[in-house]
Structure formats: C-alpha cells, structure tokens
Structure 1
Amino acid sequence: MQSSNWQVRSIDRQQVSTLAGALGVSPLAATVLCGRGVVEPEQAKAWLSSSGGSTHDPLTLPDMEKAIDRLHLAIQRGERICFYGDYDVDGMAATSLHFLFWRSVGARAEAYIPHRQEEGYGLHEGAIRKLAGRGVSLLLTADCGTTSYKEIELARSLGMDVIVTDHHQLQARTPEPLAFINPYRPDSVYPFQGLCSGGLAYKVAEAYAQKYQPAGVSVETYRDLVALSSIADLVPLTDENRTLVRDGLTQVAQGTRCGIRALTRDLGLNGTCSAGTIGFRVAPRLNAAGRLAHAELGVRLLTTESEPAALQLAQELENLNRRRREIEEEMTREAIVQVDAGDPQPAIVVSAKGWHIGVIGIVAARLVERYHRPAVVVTFDEHGIGKGSVRGVAGFDVCRALQQCEQDLVTFGGHPMAAGLTVREEAFAGFKHRFWGAVEGLLEGTQQVPTVDVDAEVGLADVQFPLIRELERLQPFGTGNPEPTLVSRGISVLEKRVVGESHLKLVLRQPGSVPLDSIGFRMGSLAAAIDAGNGRIDAVFTPELNEWKGSSRIQLRLRDVRVG
C-alpha cells in the first residue's frame, strides 16, 4: 500500500467541552461532531435526533412551479408522460420514484432508461423519435439533460414539452426546455446544492403534493428510493439529505418496498440498515444491471409489486454482479500492467479495444485508489470511437482538466470527482498529453500522497461498547459525514492471518486493553511486512460492532497501518 499522511483534525478544546456538557456525550463523540462542523448544541441535538428534521421548500427550486403546473395539465388532459432516466442507481431510483408517484396521482406514466452500450448517457435521438411515435407529449428527464441541447430541440420539434431534472454541473451553454430544475443554476435561490436526482424527483413530487394536495398520497413513503440514490451517487449526507436518507434507511430496513426487500433478503438487516450496506452491498447489485445488461431491470425491480417477480429480478442482478466482479478484476490487472510499463505521469490514462464499457468507471476508481492520481480509462470500439470514464482525487476538479482538453474530445461532462468523455482514436494521443499537462498545472504545488483524516488519537482501552453505541448515533455516514476515524499507536499484533481476497485479520492489544479483532480489506500484502517488523503497528481504524448469530463483538476496521 502507498504511504499516507495521517492528519489529526485540529479541534477547539473549549468547543468540545461545551458540546459534551450540553449533550451529555463523551468528549470523543463531541470531538467527532466538531470535526464535522457541528459545534452549536442545538445544531448537534438536531444532528443526533433519530426522528424529524427539516427540509427546504421545494417550490423555491428554479422552474419548479412551471414544471408541476405542466405535469398537472398533462394529467388533466390524459397525456402520455415519459420519465427518461440514467443507467446508474441514481437514475434508476429517480426514474422509479417519478413513475410510481405520478402514476399514483393519475398520470399516464411510462419509464425509459437508455441502453448503456447502444445509446449511451443522456437523451438519445433515436429514443426521442421512438417516444414521439408512441404519442408521448411530455418528457421529464431524471439525472440527465443538462447538456442535451440538440436532443431537447428535437423533442420540441416533434411536439414534446421537456422538463429537465438534473444535478450535473452546468457548462457555458445551457439547455432550453420548458422547465430546467437543477440546483446548480446560477439563478437558483434554493439553499442546498447537494441533492441528487433521486432527491430532485422527491422534491418535484413534494412540490406537487404541496400545491395540489392529491388525496391519499404520502410523499414520505418514497424516501427509501432517495436513500438509494443519495448514497450511491455520493452526494453529501448533510443538510436535508441527512433527514431524507436517515428516514429512507429506516424504510429499507423495515422492508416496505417489495423490490428492495427482495434485494436485501440475504443481508441480515435485522431491523437496521446503514449507508455502508447500501453503498457496498445493495448499490453494486443494482448498478450491475446498467453495466452488463440493461438498467430497466433495476427499474422493474424497484417498481414491481409482485413478490415472485421481485425475487427473480433480484437473482438476475446478483448473477450479473458476480460477472461484473470477474470482468472488473481482469480489466484492472490489464490496466495496472499498462501503467507500470510506462513512465510516471501526473495522471493515469489507459485504453484498450474491447474493454467493457460498463466497468471502466470502477476500474478508474481502482486505479485512483492504487496510485492516488486522477485516472482516465477509455475503451475503443471497432469504429475507433472511445468512451472514457474519469475519476479524480480530493481537491481536484476533473471537469476543469477536461475543459482544457476540449479540442481533443467529442463530448465530456460530469462532476468534480467523476466524469465521462468521448474521444476519437486519432485524437487520443493528443488528449493524453494535454490531459497530463492540465493535471500537472492544476495540481502544481500539491503533494500527491493520500491524506487520511483522523478525528482523534485514542488508546485501545477506550474502545468499548458504550463508545461505539454513542458514535453510531452520528449515522448515516457518507460524503460530508465520514465514519469516525481514530488512530492508536504502539499496538501489539497477537495474531495475524490473510483471509478471502487478500484481506488481513489481526488480533490487537495495548497495555490495559483486552485483545480486539480487526479487519483490513485488501491489506493482505502487509502480512509479510508485519512478520519482518517487531510485531508492533500504528493503525488508523473505525471501531464497529460485528454482529453474528445474535452476538456482538467489537471490531476495528483498519483504514491504514504503519509497521514497526
């Protein structure tokens, strides 16, 4: 593993003392809260509350009233409305939420998800013509549309009104649909930009219910879909997202939706569900549909009310996810060979003919994890057209780098940490060198070494059940509210073994502590270094409870280790 900088957060001790006293929590829990910017007692009480929580007025989003008025008119007229999504979890969940809610209020609703390999991301000309031919007169996008200028013009020419709901960053040119709901619009007065498209779908439904008050409709029942979207799309779990996701996770754990219940039936939720369970267990299964087959499988699962159909679809997704893992491992090995064979560069840029387009994003993320540099992974088809996925590092905006390469690209777009692109084979060499130069300029003066943010230094004797229960109250964890991360030094390794796919299991102890189990995922290569050392380590970890067959044991999930 690459050496990392461990950076213990600098926290005002007086703020910690005041907060601990006001809340009746330990100084360590107060330290973690202060590290997330939660320093006022009332703010902290709301953060720790297990119920309630405020959300913002949906009608303050740009063009919201125009959008819901047009949707209401379509319902009154009996028009066909199509909800056009994206093939990732956010797109699938947002499309499903739109479909289910608008059907419940009387809309003639249908859902459309483009095929990743055949149609690609965003609005597709062939799909628009097909929908127009079926009599669709109102098209609402979910998680796409911000850069679909020509396609929106085409839809309008074919007699369709278009409503765009999207959270991708705007480029110099903006689309001209009937309504454009995007929290990044410069004229937006909405107080929170962190909504994903599932969150925006919820806000559209909430605004409609607020204005038109349809009978027998509860918008809150769709928060489980917002939780899937928000966690999978890595939006900040702060502000109103915290309320929506927390409530949504409760709904997931209770099994209120048939499709999600089928997808989680073998996860042993036992009445609780964490953001980590969604991010690492549920979302990959849903994403496998869009990566290897068709994301409509995911929408069918999330919208079905048939238990047998849900179980069958969930099994299909599980099979696809197993195959996805196999492809990912093979492509990652090939990409690593390319990187290691070349000269060191400020960014990773690799390509091949025939790499699976549905997996290039995961491979790019694996390369960032391994080399801690921005990574671009491109797959070329038989026509010399390359589709690429870009992943960044903390503090670096990949879209800014791509803007400097615009002359080499057919299209590009995305978020600061992740983007997609299209490039012709003959322009690829020029793009590669221009991207390297852009990254070098943008990263100039920064150290390309991973930084691990640490909340506090503790002794292992401090890691006990009451502390972990207290830290669990800070959930849901994710972007903007990371899991508590602690460091302890001078730890003795009592037992060591490598398990599964190169995971490291250790039994650790310090003077005054009991032996504690620990697990380091993909850290198996450290076993030899521990043998060569003196059997002592420093470790950064997240304390957690390992629940198994009705019993709970304290476990340290290792984030980084230094030997000797």
Structure 2
Amino acid sequence: MVVWQQLAAATPPGPFISAIKSLHPEAGKSTAQVLWQRGWRNIAAIKSFLFPEDYKPTSAFAFAEMSQAVERIAQARRDQEKVAIWGDFDADGVTATAVLWEGLGQFFPQHERLIYYIPNRLTESHGLSMIGLAQLQAQGCTLIITCDTGSTNLEEIRYAAGLGMDVIITDHHTLPPYRPHVTALINPREFADDHPLRYLSGVAVAYKFIEALYEEFPTVPQLPLDRYLDLVAIGLIADLVELQGDCRYLAQRGIAQLKSQKRPGLAALLKNARQKGDRPTDISFGLGPRINAVSRIYGDASLCVELLTTQDPQRAAELAQAAELANDRRKALQKTILNQAEKEIARLDLSTTYVIVLMHPQWSVGLVGVVAGQLAKKYGRPVILLRAEGLELADGDLGELDLASEPNALPYPGNEIEPPDLARGSARSIGGLDLYELLNQHLHLLHRFGGHPFAAGLSLPIQNVPLLREGLNQALGQRWGGQPPIEPAIGIDLDVPVAELGAGLFRELKLLEPYGLGNPGVTLRLQGVEIQKPWRNGLKDIQGQTQNYSFVTFTILDPESGHQAAGIWWDHQPQDIPPGRCDLVGELNFNTKDNQYVFHVRDLQPAPYANVLPGHSTRLEILDYRYRPIPPLPEPVLTLETPPQTWTEWRQWLTQAQRAAIPLALIYSHPPRTTPTQAWQRLIGITKHLSRTGAQIGLDRLQQELGLSALAVTKGLDTLTALGVEIFVYPQPEQPNAQPAISCRYPQAIAANPQAVEQFALTVAEEQFRRHYLAQVPTPTLRQVAGQSA
C-alpha cells in the first residue's frame, strides 16, 4: 500500500499571502500555501521564480572554455572549413542537433559546409564512433561539434585527432576522470551544485553555445536567438533535468514560444497529441515520447531533425504521421516489456533485493530505459533491464528490436573488442542514489558504460550479469545497513473540496509550472468523495487499432455539497475502485479534447484513509529501549512490547503516537528465531500428535506454538495436504471472533513432494528475515517512515 505523506500545513502569515496575491491576478491562497510549505520566503526570489521576465539569465561565457569554442568557430569560418554536428537520438539530443543545425546554419551554409550525423539507434550506440568519424573525415570535415554526447569518448576523440579533425564537446553527462584532448569542453558538470547552469540538459548547453556566438558576432545571424527556445524547452523537460536557475528560465520562455506553434512540425505533433503546447505535460506526455519513438522504432533520428526544422507544412504533416505511428508501436512494445518484467519481479524476495537486475532475450534495448524508470518509481529501487543479445529468441518475439546502448558509452581498457554474447540495456536510479558512481565501482564486469547519476546505459558479457547483480546488491545492502529502501510516500500539498476543481484553481497552480525535479507538481487530496459511473476506456492508435493500455473514467461526487467533477485513473479498471466513500490524491488537469477540467488520480483508498502520516509540524518522540534495561517511563506514553511484523503495523503505531502527541516507547527484546527446519519439525510433531490422539488445536494456538504468522501456518498445512495428510477444519461458533480449529489424519505413507516442502521453508525464511529486520529498524528510519527528518 502506498503511503500518503501530509506535508506540513502551517498557514502562511497574512502579509505573505497578500504579497503573493499582489504578484499576479491569478495568484491566491493556494499558491501562497504551496510556496510557503516548500520553503519560499523571499518575495523577490519568488517573483523571479514565477516570472521569467524578472529572472537574470547567466552569461554563456560563464563556461570556462566557451571562448575557445567561439574562437574555433571563427577560425572555421575564415578558413572555409566543413563542420559536422554529431548529435544523439533521444529527445534531448535531437532537439540539441536541431538547435545547432539552425544556429550554426547562420554561420555556415547548410548541407555544403555544415552537416549533421546522428547514430542509427538500431545499429549503433550513443556517443562518438570510429566508423562514423571516418565517414565524416572522408566527406572533408575538419571540425566536429557534439551535442548531448561525447564527454567520455576518449578513444574516439584520440582517433578523430589522428584523422586531423578537431572536436568541440557540448554535453551535460558525467565528466571523465581527466579532460579529453579536445578544442573545448562545454559541460555544466564543471559547475558547483548550486550554480544556475549546473543542471542544463544537452539542448540547453547547445543553446548557450549559439548564444555565445550571437553575442560575439551580432551582425552575422539573420534569425533571432529566441527562435530556438521552443526546442530548448522540449529537450529540458523530456530529459527530466532539475528545473532550477537557468533551466527553469529557459523552459518557461520556451513553453511560451511553443504555444505560438511557429514551427510546422511541432504544430503537427501537437495536433496529433491533441495538446496546445502551453504546459510542460504537453511535452512530457505528448512531444517527448513521439520524438523519442522515432529512433526507438525506425532507428534513424534524422527524420526528427527534419520534422523540427522544416518550414513546409505538408512535409511536416507527413513526418508527424510517421512519428505518431512509431509512438503507437512503442507503447505496445513497452507495455509488453513492463508486464514481463513485473512477472519476474514477483518471483524476487524484495526484502533482500536492493537493486533489480533483469535480463531477457527479447527486450528492445531502446525501450528498457523507459520501463526501468517506471519500475524504479514503483518499487523504490534502482532497476537495470538488459537484453541478452547472444541468446536465441524464444517464441513470441517482440518485433523490431533496438540494439542501442546509453549516453557516452565508454569502452574500458581491454574491452574495445565486441564480445559475441553481450547483454545491453539501461539503468534508472531513485532519489538520493548516484547510479553512475555505483556502476563505476564495478567497471571490471562491464564492456561499455556511460550516463549520469539518474540514468545510465551499459553493456557487459552475459556471464557477468549474475556477478553484477550480486555485486550491486551487496554494495547497496552495506550502504543501506541491510534495510531495503523505504517506499516513497506521496506528498499531499493541499486538501481541496470538489467544488474547487475548476478553472480558478487550475490557473492559480499553473503559475508554479513548469514542474520537474526540484519543483514537483502540486498534489491535491479529496476526502470522503463518492465515485460514480466508472467506465473502462481503451486507447486506440492513429490507425484505429486497440492498444493494450486502459484507463477508467468516472464522476467524483461530494455527497455533502452535491458538487461533481470528472476523474480519470490511468492503467486501472473499474473493479480497482473500492465501494463506498474514498479519499483520492492526484493532480488537476485540463482535457483539451473534451474541454473540461479533470482530476487525474494517482492513488485512492477507502475513506477515512488510515495510512496517512501526519505532517512535520508534530515531532514524534521515540524512546528506544530495545534489548536493554527499561528506565521509568514518562506519562502519558504509548508502549510497544512486541515488534511489529509489517511496515503497515509500524505506521499504525507511529501515527497513533504522533496524533496523540505522546512518546512511543520501544521496550521489546529480540523475537525468538525459528529456522525453517525447526518450524517444519515442530509442525510435523504437533500434527502427528493430533492424528494419534484425535485432538484439535485452534489455528491461533498453532501460530503461537510455531512462532509463525497465519500465512506461514496456512502454507505449512497446505504442504501437509500435498504430502497426503488430511486436515479437518472446525469452526468455533461459540466464539465468534476465534479462529477455527483443526485436526489431522496421517496416511500410512507420506508422498514425496520436495518442492512443496521447499516452498514452506522459503516462506518461513523470508518471514523470519522480515521479522528480525523490522524488530531492529533504526530510530532515524522510523522517523523517516513517520515523515520526519532523522
């Protein structure tokens, strides 16, 4: 069950609310409440955060090597050199290529002295390649400018130098241990974490490069610099960078330009996506997936560069149609991979799994990164999904498969030659875990590897996959103290009535956009509502074919006031909605197709929702006297004398103490440890005694005797039944709340069923691990579960 976290709901002071309202006609108490809860206090800073016209952008020459890059472009113009842009095939890389293509096209004739090269996703990988560099050198190129790639391609850069080509790198991925031998390296990773340029994506770095050229040679360009901002916004939001500082400023200005739809290609894409282009979600759920799908399905991303830069509306419509078909195909394949991966995860013991590493011979490498991100978010663990390319495909091939790896894949010494049997794929991280650094500790197992703290691509020999899985789990197990990561809670920003789910609240909260890392979307909670007229809907592709995605739509009713609102819950069915009143958490959106405001549900539970943790304002005092003498306890106090066996039980105790504003005292000792063998022998002994004497025993008493849960005892009885033992169940009507009793009859000979016994042993082992782990949870972890900092 997902935990809901009630954020600190301290009411902002009146002067603060008044100041926020004075900033914009749409601003109101809800805007002030969210800003206050997120730590905003300075009105001037808030003004520059909300309105780009009040933000002072950082100079492009803040990059240490920008001047060298600009001077090398000037030299190339003077000497009539031929220049090549080396791009990348994801949305950030494609938009970066388009920005450089149009921007540098103001300085060099396109197709004559300026060309671009993007690796084919189905046959090549991210980053520079020696084959591609040789092709460009054969075409007469003497200067290569990368975008969204290249920082770690050390061997390839040396190869380019040997061919007589200079390289300028514009990128944002993790820097190598030492500077590559290039003319200029423009990468925001050189800045401190709090620098306003630190989190620029690849397209934003490319834009700052063009900005520097415009500043240095103001009389050359014929097109305005602002022309590129819509492309910058797409790459920034699609790449999920932290939207702070210049990132937020550029995204805000870019979305404003995107709304005008000056580019025929973007207008055609938005039309197919049924979006206006005025919100970041139009990019993250509309434009970004369609741009990415082109290379995932067709391989060649140059189609997208043409789509983004053409001024021919008819050609734009044709290319947008091709992108739409690719996206439909992508969604079908992605859903298949997700279902297969979740079946594999169901077989894992997640109590001892710190990183999920799965491999399959049919998975498309171009799609596993997307699925890995979905799974990491759902299970709260880093996820690595791999395609075993050397294995034979089983029945049910997924169709066109993507053979690419991830950004800036770097071959390590001794790994330059492609082994015949490789596993290739992608990794996605969770908040607070530097995945790049973690994988960097296991280079000896990898063939290629590259990326950044949140996402990485890798390839390795298939035989090394178990070693990598074991090594990563061991490393994270030690780092996390043997405790699986706590399931991330859904933070509740505002409680709102159904009556407010309309234009006013929507426009007010829209002031806080664009949302992203560092500025999450505003989560609303509706309490005690009724869900009426649930209806299952299916998605169809552009050709009218049904896809394997579904969602449920319904009416949300406030039974007290009678107000109604439209609701939607993606990837769910009507039967997932519990009867009676519910509490809902989600976001308010606008459906352009139906021209109505819709509440997008993230999670729902029967009301009243008992699994909501209080806010930070009430500090929970935990008195930890486990495994030691107990001193006199204060009054009042809530005492916990036996360790909870599930996180749900823990949350109930923590919430009870927090709501009552009294300390929680932990005064229990170590729970007795029962091995699977001991539990099985004890169960055999008890049931043989019942068979011999004809006696009965209550299931609750049997649980106490075995020291096991009801689930484990039931598993044990099922195992006995599989061996041929007859189990008789007797309800106890004279004790309505009591569990039933059982008796047994043993056959003369018990059947051999080692698999059934093994399953019981695994159940007991997992339960004992969980019980002892939960009994020793550190106090700081309990505070995190209670929604407080340690």
| Superposition TM-score, scaled by structure 1 size | 0.93
Q: Which has the larger radius of gyration?
A: 2
Contact 1:61 1:189 in 2 (8 A): no
Q: CA deviation at 1:478?
A: 2.5
Q: How does 1:202-217 map to 2 (within 5 A)?
A: 202-215=207-220, 216-217=222-223
Q: What SS does the aligned partner of 2:345 have?
A: helix
Q: What SS does the aligned partner of 2:360 have?
A: strand
Counterpart of 1:67? 69
Counterpart of 1:472? 510
Which amino acid in structure 2 is aligned with residue 91 of structure 1? G
- Distance in structure 1 (CA, Å) of the matches to 2:275 and 2:592: 10
- Distance in structure 2 (CA, Å) of the matches to 1:384 and 1:507: 53
- Distance in structure 1 (CA, Å) of the matches to 2:189 and 2:606: 45
- Answering whether residue 559 of structure 2 is matched by residue 561 of structure 1, we say no
- Residue 22 of structure 1, aligned match among 19, 23, 48: 19
Counterpart of 1:421? 458
Q: How does 1:62-141 map to 2 (within 5 A)?
A: 62-106=64-108, 108-141=113-146
Q: CA deviation at 1:188?
A: 10
- Distance in structure 1 (CA, Å) of the matches to 2:267 and 2:385: 35
Which segment is superposed worse, 117-126 or 445-454?
445-454
Task: Say if 1:363 and 1:465 are closer, same or farther in 2 by CA, change over 3 A.
Answer: closer
Which amino acid in structure 1 is aligned with residue 523 of structure 2? T
Counterpart of 1:528? 575
Q: What SS does the aligned partner of 1:104 have?
A: coil
- Residue 324 of structure 1, aligned match among 316, 322, 330: 330
Counterpart of 1:262? 268
Which segment is superposed worse, 430-439 or 156-165?
430-439
**Can you give the 5+ residue segments of structure 2 that lack an aligned partner in the other structure?**
22-26, 391-419, 539-548, 608-790
Task: Say if 1:487 and 1:188 are closer, same or farther in 2 by CA, change over 3 A.
Answer: closer
Contact 1:105 1:217 in 2 (8 A): no
Counterpart of 1:399? 436
Counterpart of 2:536? 498
- Residue 508 of structure 1, aligned match among 545, 548, 556: 556
Q: CA deviation at 1:357?
A: 1.7
Q: How does 1:249-398 map to 2 (within 5 A)?
A: 249-270=255-276, 272-293=277-298, 294-344=300-350, 345-382=353-390, 383-398=420-435
Counterpart of 2:487? 449
- Distance in structure 2 (CA, Å) of the matches to 1:536 and 1:22: 38
Q: How does 1:429-448 map to 2 (within 5 A)?
A: 429-444=466-481, 445=483, 447-448=485-486
- Residue 224 of structure 1, aligned match among 226, 230, 233: 230
Contact 2:275 2:592 in 1 (8 A): no
- Distance in structure 2 (CA, Å) of the matches to 1:248 and 1:180: 25
| Superposition TM-score, scaled by structure 2 size | 0.67
Which amino acid in structure 1 is aligned with residue 321 of structure 2? Q
CA RMSD of aligned residues (A): 2.2
- Distance in structure 1 (CA, Å) of the matches to 2:307 and 2:532: 47
Q: What SS does the aligned partner of 2:596 have?
A: strand
- Distance in structure 2 (CA, Å) of the matches to 1:422 and 1:498: 40
Count, aligned residues: 554
Q: What SS does the aligned partner of 1:346 have?
A: coil
- Distance in structure 2 (CA, Å) of the matches to 1:282 and 1:506: 27
Task: Say if 1:413 and 1:513 are closer, same or farther in 2 by CA, change over 3 A.
Answer: farther
Which amino acid in structure 1 is aligned with residue 583 of structure 2? D
Task: Say if 1:72 and 1:226 are closer, same or farther in 2 by CA, change over 3 A.
Answer: same
Q: CA deviation at 1:246?
A: 1.9
Percent of aligned pairs sharing the same letter: 29
Contact 2:501 2:565 in 1 (8 A): no
Q: CA deviation at 1:117?
A: 2.9
Counterpart of 1:542? 587
Q: CA deviation at 1:446?
A: 6.2
Contact 2:527 2:582 in 1 (8 A): yes
Deviations 1:490-525 (A, max 9, x none): 22223323322332323223323501211111232x
Contact 1:495 1:508 in 2 (8 A): no
Deviations 1:100-130 (A, max 9, x none): 1111223521111011232211010111111
Contact 1:396 1:442 in 2 (8 A): no
Contact 1:90 1:233 in 2 (8 A): yes
Q: What SS does the aligned partner of 1:117 have?
A: coil
Task: Say if 1:51 and 1:447 are closer, same or farther in 2 by CA, change over 3 A.
Answer: same
Deviations 1:419-472 (A, max 9, x none): 111111121111111122223234445643122122122333444432222112
Counterpart of 1:156? 161
Q: What SS does the aligned partner of 1:520 have?
A: strand
Contact 1:504 1:523 in 2 (8 A): yes
Counterpart of 1:39? 41
**Can you give the 5+ residue segments of structure 1 that lack an aligned partner in the other structure?**
none
Task: Say if 1:529 and 1:544 are closer, same or farther in 2 by CA, change over 3 A.
Answer: closer
Task: Say if 1:431 and 1:206 are closer, same or farther in 2 by CA, change over 3 A.
Answer: same
Q: CA deviation at 1:487?
A: 1.7
Task: Say if 1:275 and 1:124 are closer, same or farther in 2 by CA, change over 3 A.
Answer: same
Task: Say if 1:189 and 1:336 are closer, same or farther in 2 by CA, change over 3 A.
Answer: closer
Contact 2:105 2:114 in 1 (8 A): yes
Which segment is superposed worse, 181-190 or 130-139?
181-190
Q: What SS does the aligned partner of 1:246 have?
A: helix
Q: What SS does the aligned partner of 2:456 have?
A: strand
Task: Say if 1:277 and 1:442 are closer, same or farther in 2 by CA, change over 3 A.
Answer: farther
Q: CA deviation at 1:268?
A: 4.2
Contact 1:492 1:508 in 2 (8 A): yes
- Distance in structure 2 (CA, Å) of the matches to 1:230 and 1:397: 20
Q: What SS does the aligned partner of 1:387 have?
A: strand
Q: How does 1:240-251 map to 2 (within 5 A)?
A: 240-251=246-257
- Distance in structure 2 (CA, Å) of the matches to 1:211 and 1:190: 23
